[in-house]
A and B are shown apart, each in its own frame.
Chain A
Amino acid sequence: MKDSTSLAPGDQLPGLLERVERREKSARIRGVLYSLVPVALTVSLLGYTASSTRKAQEQIDALKKEASTYTTQIDSLKKNTESYKTQSQSLQGDTENYKNQVTELQTQLAETQKALAEAVNLSRAVRTIDYANAKELASRFPGSESLLLDLLELRQRRIKWKVGGQSPQEGFDSPSFAMYLLRQKRVAGIELQPGESLTEASRSLSNKLPTTTQPRTGDLVFYPSGYAMFYFADPREGPFVLGMTPFGIAALKSDFAKPVGYRQVQWQ
């Protein structure tokens, strides 16, 4: 049998041509393959890289979206925190207000209790004056009948107690009532400074009048709780004071409290 590689001069040309053609065909295929294998590898690698990159990009996008969600949540939580802080501050402010109100109410309650205690004390010291016998009573105080009658007349008008009040319609507290009456009677030394109110002037009433240790009818008696009352020396039933009290114009026993001092009034 003849070897395919051996070639003798007697070989027929068609057979040789066929072998040459076969070799060339093989060379063409091999050339194309040699060229296309790196191309195919490159394309495959690039495709794989592109696919991986796309997956990575998708993961990055998903993570970005997740991060965005978390950022939104964080922003929302921050806003909530700010809101809660504001509410907390507001509540703290309210609490402070309520504390102040409670303190104020406690103070008012204490003042009311004190006023009530004073009123109870005062009510025990009230001396009843019969208006029908006012003239008979006035006759006991020669020279001060007018003062007593005026006081009783104002009492009949039921002038109210009002701290800082400045007129009969508004009401008075004890010193401002005394100041009002002294001004009505045009007592010397009782003038208002320009721009000074009746209430302000009444707070320094004790400084406007001369001091005395032996009070006479018509003089002013000052008490620790701020009362300023007119003194009446009743020879029959004992001395009493008359002036504005929390339950209106009333007559009280002069010793309902220990007087702070007496002031002499020069009635005209």
Chain B
Amino acid sequence: MDVPAKIEFLKTALASQETTVRLHTALVAVLFVVGVTAALLSFVSPGLILAESLKTGQALGGIVIATSGFIPIFFSRRDRVVALRSLLHSYQHQQVGGLSPDPRLDRYFYQYFAVVLGEQK
């Protein structure tokens, strides 16, 4: 398997992982804004969203919504994105520098995906 093919593969995989991370980040942002807005409105303008009698419930609900967006972040393992990017850079460096193929890189490559895809089970 040649290096350019691996580089393309790594780029595609990295793009896919980054898309996942962006989605999670957007989710965090949206839920945080919605939750904090709901919580703040319960104090600033009670009765605007829910009835005034549910002011406390609205505040607590807003906090729960704001924090719930962070849950996927804890499971996203951004370190793996960094590792994949390092692997990609190493291959690119090898290609650009006209270096002879390093068998350790291939080993890392397969080890990485073995670990990542092994967790899918």
A residues near B (Cβ < 8 Å) are 4-9, 11, 13, 16-17, 19-24, 26-28, 30-32, 34-39, 42-43, 45-46, 49-50, 53-54, 57
Contact = CB atoms under 8 A, between A and B. Distances in A.
9 shortest interchain CB distances as A-B pairs: A31-B72, A38-B68, A7-B114, A5-B118, A24-B16, A42-B61, A13-B9, A34-B71, A20-B13
Contact of B120 (A26, A49, A54): A26
Interface in B51-82: 51, 53-54, 57-58, 61, 64-65, 67-69, 71-72, 75-76
A46 B117 contact: no
Interface residues of B, number: 40
A46 B50 contact: yes
B121 interface: yes
B1 A13 contact: yes
B94 interface: no
Chain A interface main SS type: helix
B41 interface: no
A11 B9 CA distance: 13
Given A24-B17, A26-B120, A53-B54, 7 more contacts: A32-B72, A36-B68, A39-B31, A39-B64, A39-B68, A42-B61, A45-B57
A252 B61 CA distance: 120
Chain B interface main SS type: helix
A16 B110 CA distance: 10
A35 B71 contact: yes
Given A5-B121, A13-B6, A49-B57, A39 B106 contact: no
B74 to A, nearest CB: 9
Given A8-B110, A13-B5, A42-B61, A31 B23 contact: yes
Contact of A42 (B51, B64, B118): B64
Interface string B90-121: 00000000000000001000100110111011
Nearest to B60: A42
B117 A31 contact: no
Interface of B: 1, 5-6, 9, 12-13, 16-17, 19-20, 23-24, 27-28, 31, 50-51, 53-54, 57-58, 61, 64-65, 67-69, 71-72, 75-76, 106, 110, 113-114, 116-118, 120-121
Contacts of A53: 51, 53-54
A267 B117 CA distance: 162
Contacts of A31: 20, 23-24, 27, 71-72, 75-76
14 contacts: A5-B118, A7-B114, A16-B117, A17-B9, A22-B120, A28-B19, A31-B23, A31-B27, A31-B71, A32-B23, A32-B27, A38-B64, A42-B65, A50-B50
Contacts of A8: 110
A46 B68 contact: no
A20 B24 CA distance: 17
Contacts of A46: 50, 54, 57-58, 61
Specify which of A16, A42, A49, A57 lies most central, judged by the most chain B CB atoms within 10 Å of its CB.
Answer: A42
Contacts of A19: 117, 120
A32 B26 CA distance: 10
